[in-house]
Structure 1
Amino acid sequence: MELVVDSGVSRMEGARKNPTLICAPIMADTVDQMLNLMRTAKASGADLVEIRLDSLKSFNHRPDISTLIQHCPLPTLFTYRPVWEGGMYDGDETSRLDALRLAMELGADHIDVELKAIHEFNSSLNGIRPGKCQVIVSSHNYHNTPSVEELGDLVARIQASGADIVKIATTALDIIDVARIFQITVHSQVPIIAMVMGEKGLMSRILCPKFGGYLTFGTLEAGKVSAPGQPTIQDLLDLYNFRQLGPDTRIFGIIGKPVSHSKSPLLYNEAFKSVGFNGVFVHLLVDDIATFFQTYSSLDFAGFSCTIPHKEAALETCDEVDPVAKSIGAVNCIIRRPTDGKLFGCNTDYVGAISAIEDGLRGLYHTPVGSSPLAGKLFVVIGAGGAGKALAYGAKEKGARVVIANRTYGRAKELADSIGGQALSLAELSSFHPEKGMILANTTSIGMQPKVDETPVAKEALQYYSLVFDAVYTPKITRLLREAEECGLKIVTGVEMFIGQAYEQYERFTGLPAPKELFKNIMATY
């Protein structure tokens, strides 16, 4: 596959850049249902199907396996997973292994045999391996991810068992566990399927083409998984541009906890695709940001957005911080400099939010050219975390009088004192109305999915405001914004802030001008 470099952007020629396969797990009660799902898998873009024999309610070995092979429109992988390895089969072991051997004889492309059963299986073959079938020998760890040394020993044992393809699946207790699987994958001398299960292991399933994985599993439907953390085929192909990932693909991501709600991968991956930029943007569920950066210190991990609750801690982990971000005390964008690998942190939150709020106010008030409609206004910020600091700083810079309301009064006062503002506890906010026409900005996660019925302030108190902004953008219209609209107030959604702050981040990530219209169009459809 040829890479044509144009103005610093890798343009990927051809439909596919990597040989890594997408395998669709097929789980159903009957053979007929499996055949329908196989056709769906082919239409969805899968390369092969994993036929989970242990999911069948009734199973007649020879005719059913023959039917499944003859009528499958894709190459096949037969798995008959016992309960002791996380599957559903709880019957006779000899019968189970006989079914897998029969699948080989009848023309299966792959079978999956557990490491714990491979010796018995090999013995049953009597030294004769029928057909073209490749044997995957697998090991599943549903408790943790062992050390690199232990994983290396495990791979060696699987290889020594006569495996054509090695498969290891571990469980992520922390996102740093994935680094060990990447290390094992990239150094493997044989075809390897290696993944980390669970949400913290998601990037192992997406990035396996970069590190040389044989295949990844993609489901036909969200939530219907054969192991924890599997993405859909549609997400692999359309969201993450899976076919275009390769060893030289640069990795970007959104660091947060929680993080699965973030639309950042949708925004940036679509933008990357539109210009042929060789990068991928993923969700990164991070517990400790300092440990994350210590673990993923490679230049391959090139840039990051940062969200709740890591924006303040991110500032401490960076080698260099933009003066504005230092003043705010929070970082939401981190770039790894290609020259020396150092981390540079900046803050784009305040630009995106303040610009969106100013635009909203200009529709309410006449503002002299060259001045901000925030000048002189009473600006109430809910929250004293990273986003709260960014908005408080930005509003102060525009000449607003700033009030900070926070659950913990001490944190509100600390922020208020740093910008010459006033502090309130969140409990006091509903009775705080010194004047009409105030501006309210929620920067907390109150009202964010799944807790969409929550709001930081009573509806009755909203009558004293002229504009209400909510940094939450999932859902787009929070309870706070809905009630503000019902009171006849101007509202500004978190989507507008999200788009505004993303412009600068994209330009820092890629060195290219932000595709502003594309960003707006993408977010308008969600």
Structure 2
Amino acid sequence: MGNDSARRRAAVLGRPVAHSLSPVLHRAAYADLGLDWSYEAIDCGIDDLIGVLAEREDWAGFSATMPLKHALLDVAADVRPVAAAVGAANTLLPGPDGWIADNTDVAGVVAALGEHGVEPGSATVLGAGGTAQAMVAALLALGVGECTVLARDPRRAAPVLDTAERLDVRLTVDRLAPDASALAADLVISTLPPGAADAYTERDWQPRQTVFDVVYAPWPTALAARAGERGARVVSGALMLLHQAAAQVSLMTGRDAPVSAMRLALAEIAPGSGI
């Protein structure tokens, strides 16, 4: 798919999107690979998506953030198995019949936890959105076929329950609360937006636990700082960001992603982000 001699264009879509670090990661990869490619951030909501794509049919691909992770499935001509199983996508690639939806968040989570040697026997996910759906698939890839999702409104957990059913994962949904017994799991993953996990900082985290917070700016988050003080292992969402972007670079360019160069670029723009 990649052509070293021709300029190709790619972008991240979302709203808000100005804060995205995806351009830093992708541009660093292209530079290291010697590709004359561009990558930009495009403000795009769900209602804008079809029009934005129609104007860019010859582009090399798109990354997507909220609120588009479910909408990508609706505009794609083909959906890759991982994205279909998760029920959410973060990547669009050009195909012979239209756009192909894929999901690299799962690979990003697996690689991030792998860097820390995390091999959980039990796991709990905070939040029930599109990122939580990817977490269920990633946990299965790590050998965890049973987990708990704690949601602020369990009635809105239908999408993640559907993901679990497709993957044959045994999923328990409960209300998110500081005294929830499921917070004692070996691995606790927060997919909550910035600040939303602050209520769980005073929990008596244990050294045997790993706390993975997808929020990475600022790092450490209040949750990660408290868990680290109590001796728990903490994993930053910046690692997930790095590895999911690396997977996207490989899909879009057909080349092995230069993870080291991408990590260095991310460390320069977001020092202390936990990578």
TM-score range, shorter chain: 0.7 to 0.9
The reply on whether 1:390 has 2:134 as its aligned counterpart is yes
The C-alpha deviation readout for 1:99-133, integer Å capped at 9, x for no partner, is xxxxxxxxxxxxxxxxxxxxxxxxxxxxxxxxxxx
- What residue in structure 2 maps to residue 516 of structure 1? 259
Give 1:482 shift. Answer: 1.5
- What residue in structure 1 maps to residue 31 of structure 2? 273
Alpha-carbon separation, structure 2, partners of 1:434 and 1:388: 15
1:235-384 pair list within 5 angstroms: 249-288=7-46, 291-297=48-54, 298-337=56-95, 339-340=96-97, 342-362=98-118, 373-374=119-120, 377-384=121-128
Alpha-carbon separation, structure 2, partners of 1:511 and 1:250: 13
Q: Summarize the Cα distance change of 1:437–1:444 in structure 2 as closer, same or farther, 3 Å threshold.
A: closer
Contact kept, 8 Å, 1:412 with 1:425, in 2: the verdict is no
Query: Residue 202 of structure 2 is aligned with which of 448, 460, 484?
Result: 460
Give 1:295 shift. Answer: 4.0
- What residue in structure 1 maps to residue 189 of structure 2? 441
Alpha-carbon separation, structure 2, partners of 1:423 and 1:313: 24
- What residue in structure 2 maps to residue 422 of structure 1? 172
Alpha-carbon separation, structure 2, partners of 1:250 and 1:307: 21
SS of the aligned residue for 1:304 comes to strand
Contact kept, 8 Å, 2:124 with 2:185, in 1: the verdict is no
Q: Summarize the Cα distance change of 1:518–1:259 in structure 2 as closer, same or farther, 3 Å threshold.
A: same
Give 1:437 shift. Answer: 5.0
Contact kept, 8 Å, 1:352 with 1:496, in 2: the verdict is yes
Give 1:389 shift. Answer: 0.2
Give 1:249 shift. Answer: 3.6
SS of the aligned residue for 2:181 comes to coil
- What residue in structure 1 maps to residue 153 of structure 2? 408
Code of the residue aligned with 2:217 in structure 1: it is T
Give 1:413 shift. Answer: 5.5
Alpha-carbon separation, structure 1, partners of 2:250 and 2:141: 24
Code of the residue aligned with 1:504 in structure 2: it is A
Contact kept, 8 Å, 1:320 with 1:343, in 2: the verdict is yes
Query: Residue 496 of structure 1 is aligned with which of 239, 258, 269?
Result: 239
SS of the aligned residue for 1:9 comes to coil
How many residues end up aligned between the 2 structures?
260
The alignment yields a C-alpha RMSD, in angstroms, of 2.2
Superposition TM-score, scaled by structure 1 size: 0.46
Give 1:435 shift. Answer: 7.9
Alpha-carbon separation, structure 1, partners of 2:173 and 2:158: 5
Contact kept, 8 Å, 1:412 with 1:424, in 2: the verdict is no
Code of the residue aligned with 1:411 in structure 2: it is R
The C-alpha deviation readout for 1:128-187, integer Å capped at 9, x for no partner, is xxxxxxxxxxxxxxxxxxxxxxxxxxxxxxxxxxxxxxxxxxxxxxxxxxxxxxxxxxxx
SS of the aligned residue for 1:421 comes to strand
Q: Summarize the Cα distance change of 1:284–1:313 in structure 2 as closer, same or farther, 3 Å threshold.
A: same
Alpha-carbon separation, structure 2, partners of 1:434 and 1:496: 24
Q: Summarize the Cα distance change of 1:344–1:310 in structure 2 as closer, same or farther, 3 Å threshold.
A: same
- What residue in structure 1 maps to residue 273 of structure 2? none
Code of the residue aligned with 2:49 in structure 1: it is F
Q: Summarize the Cα distance change of 1:302–1:278 in structure 2 as closer, same or farther, 3 Å threshold.
A: same
The C-alpha deviation readout for 1:79-106, integer Å capped at 9, x for no partner, is xxxxxxxxxxxxxxxxxxxxxxxxxxxx
- What residue in structure 2 maps to residue 155 of structure 1? none
Q: Summarize the Cα distance change of 1:414–1:312 in structure 2 as closer, same or farther, 3 Å threshold.
A: closer
Q: Summarize the Cα distance change of 1:436–1:408 in structure 2 as closer, same or farther, 3 Å threshold.
A: closer
1:107-146 pair list within 5 angstroms: none
Alpha-carbon separation, structure 2, partners of 1:257 and 1:306: 10
Q: Which has the larger radius of gyration?
A: 1
Alpha-carbon separation, structure 1, partners of 2:182 and 2:134: 24
Where does the alignment leave 5 or more consecutive residues of structure 1 unmatched?
A: 1-6, 11-247, 363-372, 448-453
Alpha-carbon separation, structure 2, partners of 1:516 and 1:523: 10
Give 1:333 shift. Answer: 0.9
Alpha-carbon separation, structure 2, partners of 1:438 and 1:329: 26
- What residue in structure 2 maps to residue 8 of structure 1? 3
The C-alpha deviation readout for 1:390-443, integer Å capped at 9, x for no partner, is 0112213433231111222113365246332110122x3x11225845211112
Code of the residue aligned with 2:157 in structure 1: it is A
Contact kept, 8 Å, 1:467 with 1:490, in 2: the verdict is yes
Alpha-carbon separation, structure 2, partners of 1:265 and 1:414: 29
Give 1:324 shift. Answer: 1.4
Superposition TM-score, scaled by structure 2 size: 0.85
Code of the residue aligned with 1:425 in structure 2: it is R
Alpha-carbon separation, structure 1, partners of 2:61 and 2:22: 13
Contact kept, 8 Å, 1:252 with 1:302, in 2: the verdict is yes
